[in-house]
Amino acid sequence: MGDSFGTRLRAGLDKRGPLCVGIDPHPQLLHAWGLDDSPAGLERFCHTVVDAAADVAAVAKPQSAFFERWGSRGIAVLERLLSDLREAGVLTVLDVKRGDIPSTMAAYAEAYLDEGSPLACDAITVHPYLGFGSLSGAIASAVGNDAGLFVLARTSNPEAAELQDLVAGQILGSVAAANTASAAHEPLGPVGVVLSATPPSIGHALERLHGPVLVPGVGAQGASPADVARLFSPVRQAVVPSVSRAVLADPGRVRERVTAYRDEFATLLG
């Protein structure tokens, strides 16, 4: 890809503003859009989102599960979506939350981060709960392919708190070390974190991460852009707020809602 993931991400955020559009085409949303819950409905949904938002959003985050549920037909739609977003200049973060032993992670990395893969994207989400060392092959693959990873540290689902609050600090430290060890850690390293905006406080120092912070929980899950600005003030230039349901609820207002959130985040985080 040429430039590092961090360089491309920084350039995209500077050009189009700080927003990641979550693309989560679950059956209820397809029905709300008047679409069939089918691969054809899925494809129409994706075309509409790309047409409405691809020139105003810096980052898009498709949720792989809603495509995988249709087998090869759904994966074909996902491949086209990733290709269309790439052609429009949108960085793609595929939300797959993979995490396994090193050999398996190497295969996942080949599937999603290798430039020659039909599912190639700019970054993927991963989890570290088999030990952060299990991600070493994926980190190496990300660096080698000028791609990125977002490691789950504190997600937005309420049931995550019991486990994730115990280990979030350790995960953040490991991410910081991985970015420091990378030659491509400026302006942002290849390893980011997922930190929700829904807890009342973060409770961890973020200044040494040297990587991007993907922030879910905005909109339907209760957090506001002002919450994001408050919680992530020390690393505001690294923040990538992610909004899905709040911008996709009405097919006729996708562009309007994406632009509104993007502009509000730009004001608060600028």
Residues recognised as catalytic: 97
Distance CA 30, CA 27 (A): 5
Q: Up-side HSE of residue 143: CA atoms within 13 Å toward CB?
A: 17
**What is the spatial distance between Cα 62 and Cα 20, in angstroms, rounded to a whole number?**
10
E-state strands within 49-89: 59-62
Q: Are 130 and 101 in contact (CB under 8 A)?
A: yes
Could you give the CA distance from residue 19 to residue 39 in angstroms, rounded to a whole number?
27
Neighbours of 42 (CB within 10 A): 25
Residues 6+ apart with CB under 8 A from 226: 268
Among the listed residues 190, 189, 239, 216, the one whose alpha carbon sits nearest the alpha carbon of residue 63: 216
How many residues does the structure list for the chain?
A: 270
